[in-house]
Amino acid sequence: MKKDGITDLPTCKGYDLKLRFYGYLLGVLSRMGVELYRVTVEFAGKDLAFLVPTLYAERALYNLEHVLCDYYQVPGVVPRPGNRVLDVGGFLGFYTVASAALVDPGGVVYSVEPVEKIFSLLYENIRLNRLSHVYAYPIAVCPESGFKKLYVGDYPAVSSLLREHVEHYASVESVIEVKCIKMSNLLGYIGVLDVLKLDIEGLEVDVLKEALGELRRTRAIVVEVHTNVVDSGEVVRLLNEAGFNKTVVYVPADAPNQVIAYATR
């Protein structure tokens, strides 16, 4: 809907209590040996469903609330019907599925997630929501193409090519080899984008630097900056250099090591 010519923003009202209840319930189910549980939330007037691992349910549900409440609060970076969206760092599909609900079948969402066991859940959550206009790829976006070591955390959302970043938030559970693609190559393959979302666990500056020439294909971008390893000021500078002349920086009160940069042309 529109109000005074501005697209209404999705609201996250009411998620807190519901997701806390889910977190408690999933904690109980985990102790009973249940591995996955289906969580349903309303977003932009639609019901979204997600399979969530009970093993790290509390942190995953916090991430779900964070995505739905923080990523869609600046009008210029909220996907609209018919838009083309790229989700880099898809995790369980929270942003992917929510954005697919906003763009409707007339749009398209691309999602990439390098951790195989997480990618399988991302893919299942796409299927669960019957999203035929979403395409997912089991790759990592890196400053260089090739194969790289990825440090997988016991909370896999923080998995990264940077071991120190993973250890800041979790324990390293395993080290795997993943296929990397440069952001410039990915953007060249996909073409014009309306919204690009980056949550790449400490590689923000390096990936943006590599892709500066191709970011012209993108109308708006939202970047989650992990300030334990990345300077948010450098991210904003790179966005300005890439032609994004309107930038909003937001620091969640309950996540002081994370900054969200929203940028439009």
Which CATH number does the domain housing residue 133 bear? 3.40.50.150
Tally the C-alpha atoms within 13 A of residue 226's C-alpha that lie toward its C-beta.
Answer: 20
Whole-angstrom distance, CA of residue 193 vs CA of residue 101: 17
Whole-angstrom distance, CA of residue 190 vs CA of residue 78: 19
Residue 253 is predicted with a pLDDT of 72
Residue 3 is predicted with a pLDDT of 35
Whole-angstrom distance, CA of residue 110 vs CA of residue 56: 25
Q: Which domain holds residue 121?
A: 2-264
Quote the distance between the C-alpha of residue 13 and its chain's center.
20
Q: 112 has which bridge partners?
A: 88, 137
Please report, in tens digits, the pLDDT of each residue of the chain (265 residues total): 333 333 455 656 556 555 665 666 666 666 777 788 888 999 999 999 999 998 888 889 889 989 998 999 899 999 999 999 999 999 999 999 999 999 999 999 999 999 999 999 999 999 999 999 999 999 999 999 999 999 999 999 999 999 999 999 999 999 999 999 999 999 999 999 999 999 999 999 999 999 999 999 999 999 999 999 999 999 999 999 999 999 999 987 777 678 999 999 9
Whole-angstrom distance, CA of residue 61 vs CA of residue 19: 6
CA dihedral 181, 251, 217, 136 (to 10 degrees): 40
State the DSSP code for 162: -
Whole-angstrom distance, CA of residue 195 vs CA of residue 222: 8
Whole-angstrom distance, CA of residue 86 vs CA of residue 109: 6
With a CB cutoff of 8 Å and minimum separation 6, the contacts of 140 are 112, 114, 148, 150, 161, 178, 179, 180, 181
CA dihedral 257, 180, 70, 62 (to 10 degrees): -70
Geometric angle at alpha carbon 132, from 184 and 85, rounded to 5°:
30
Domain count, the chain: 1
Q: What tokens were used for 48?
A: 């979204």
Query: Which residue carries 């012209």 as its tokens?
Result: 216
Q: For residue 52, which phi and psi values (nearest 5 degrees)?
A: -120, 130
